[in-house]
Structure 1
Amino acid sequence: MSGIEITFRGPLFDGRAARAMQDACDDAREDLAAFAEERVLMGTSANFKTRTPYYETRITTTRVTSEVSLVHDQGVIYGPWLEGVGSRNAPVTRFAGYRHWRAAKQAVVARGPQVAEAAVRRRLPEMGG
């Protein structure tokens, strides 16, 4: 009786590909959050007539879960007013807001796939590709 022996080797079979894929997902999340934070800060520097460092230093990224990062202004009390979504914008003042968060979100939606793809491409050699 003769037997056949099959041996599977490589990143797909020893777990390296799965680890690299998880690392690629983490990299993509971090890169997207950094891109979003950068876009918010670009909006503040382009729109604020009198820039004060306090608000801009409050803009940060926090990792909420293993899959979610949150870019926020740490709850600065006048943040909604600056964005134009505060309760005092329309009825009390004529200031419509800078809309810097909305612009950043639109930029992430538009460029997000390219940013994530670049993160995955960096990890392809580890995946055996």
Structure 2
Amino acid sequence: MRLIVSTSERGPMFDGRARRAANEYVNRLERNLAEEGLNILKREMRAVFRNPTGYYESRCVVVDGNVISDSRVVYGPWLAGVGSRNFPVTKFKGYDHWIKTRHELNSRKRGIGERLLRRYTGRM
């Protein structure tokens, strides 16, 4: 008895489509997570700020598709409680809106990634 085995190199794994789909997935996931994080951050700011003017919230944006930034507003560190003028210099210890955002986004990221992956696995 003789058994001959042969293979061919065809399909998404060999012609680069799987790699492109994986790269597109990672880029899209980063954008989605940053946008979701910005939404959480703005919600937290509305919940904790006592006298909001709207300026700081308007300066918080997604930069380069995957970074949430406050556009380096000069009093941003003070609001977050990490500035040089926070406690013990003043009584104000800052808000924890960035910390809450990080924790909530970390708890949601797996579900966001799994839902998004379903769109890309068929192309791999």
TM range (shorter): 0.7 to 0.9
Q: Count residues in correspondence.
A: 121
**TM-aligned CA distance change 1:52 to 1:12, over 3 Å:** same
Output the amino acid matched with 1:80. P
Partners of 2:80 and 2:118 in 1: CA distance: 35
Partners of 1:100 and 1:17 in 2: CA distance: 38
- Partner residue of 2:42? 41
- Partner residue of 1:61? 62
Partners of 1:54 and 1:40 in 2: CA distance: 14
Of structures 1 and 2, the one scoring higher in RCO (CA 8 A, sep 6+) is: 1
- Partner residue of 1:97? 94
- Partner residue of 2:12? 11
Is the Cα–Cα contact under 8 Å of residues 31 and 119 in structure 1 kept in the other structure? no
Output the amino acid matched with 2:103. Q
Deviation at 1:31, TM superposition (A): 0.9
Secondary structure, in 3 states, of the residue corresponding to 2:74? coil
Residue segments in structure 1 that go unaligned for 5+ positions in a row: none
TM-score calculated relative to the size of structure 1: 0.83
- Partner residue of 1:79? 76
- Partner residue of 1:119? 116
RMSD over equivalenced CA pairs, Å? 1.9
Deviation at 1:7, TM superposition (A): 3.2
Deviation string for 1:56-112 (max 9, x for gaps)?
A: 110011128xxxx22110110111111111111102221121110011111122222
Output the amino acid matched with 1:11. P
TM-score calculated relative to the size of structure 2: 0.86
**TM-aligned CA distance change 1:94 to 1:19, over 3 Å:** same
